[in-house]
Amino acid sequence: MTSCGHNRCLYVSDYINDCVHRVDVDQGTVTQWPVSDGPCGMAVSATTHNVLVTCHDVSTVKEFTPHGDPVRTVTLADEVVNPWHTIQLTSGQFIVCHGGLEDPVHRVCRLDVDGCIVQSVGGPPGSTFAEQLNVPWHLAVDQDEFIFVADHDNRRVVLLSPTLEYIREVVSRDRLKWDPHRLWVDAVRRRLYVVENEWKDGEFAAGRVVVYNI
């Protein structure tokens, strides 16, 4: 799910039914449009207010107008396996996090407008070094384009520079009850919202939202 303050609406990706739902806050109406290939993470472009949908199953990012008209499809580099979430910078470049449980590489990558890798951080999954990631699941960006990463299986949130240098651990394991699943930054109030979920017996069992000052 993501929101757009400009158009005052929410967007919800529906992986099971291959679609996106749009909820208009003022009118209270719900519309939807089809998105094939496993719509997963979503973001709204800060410049065009278009909707970016990461299609996990085929490693693409599909761009739509706020009302669901297709704009373009960006095929991600072959090395970007199992992408979970993509955001777009003001330059037009993309930041994507990728890597599933069985994948040998878990990274956050900076891509050019054509989906080719420019920079990356991460590598083999683990927690031996500060820069290692283990299922980087979701991203958020502040007004200066510093990047927050929900490092799901390491149970933490880390901060990267705009050029993907590791800066620090923003939220450590001992401050989280469950695994970080979604992030959102309130740039005005300088707050980070973290959605935590408990995963049990193959499904989500519980969850909460925790707010941190940044």
- Global confidence as pTM: 0.94
- SS3 of 154, please? helix
Q: Residue 187 — very low, low, confident or very high, per pLDDT cuts 50/70/90?
A: confident
Asked whether residue 194 is assigned to any structural domain, the reply reads no
Please write the tens of the pLDDT for every residue from 128-149: 999 999 999 999 999 999 999 9
Q: Residue 88 — very low, low, confident or very high, per pLDDT cuts 50/70/90?
A: very high
Number of domains within the chain: 1
What one-character-per-residue DSSP string does 163-214 give? T--EEEEEE-GGG-SSEEEEEEEETTTTEEEEEEEEEETTEEEEEEEEEEE-
Indicate if the pLDDT at residue 153 is higher than 90. yes
Structural domain boundaries, residue 14: 2-177
Indicate if the pLDDT at residue 204 is higher than 80. no
Asked whether residue 207 is assigned to any structural domain, the reply reads no
User: Could you say which DSSP state residue 104 is in?
Assistant: S
What is the domain-level CATH number for residue 65? 2.120.10.30
Q: Is 76:101 a contact under the CB 8 Å cutoff?
A: no
Nearest one of 98, 87, 207, 202 to 147, comparing CA atoms: 87
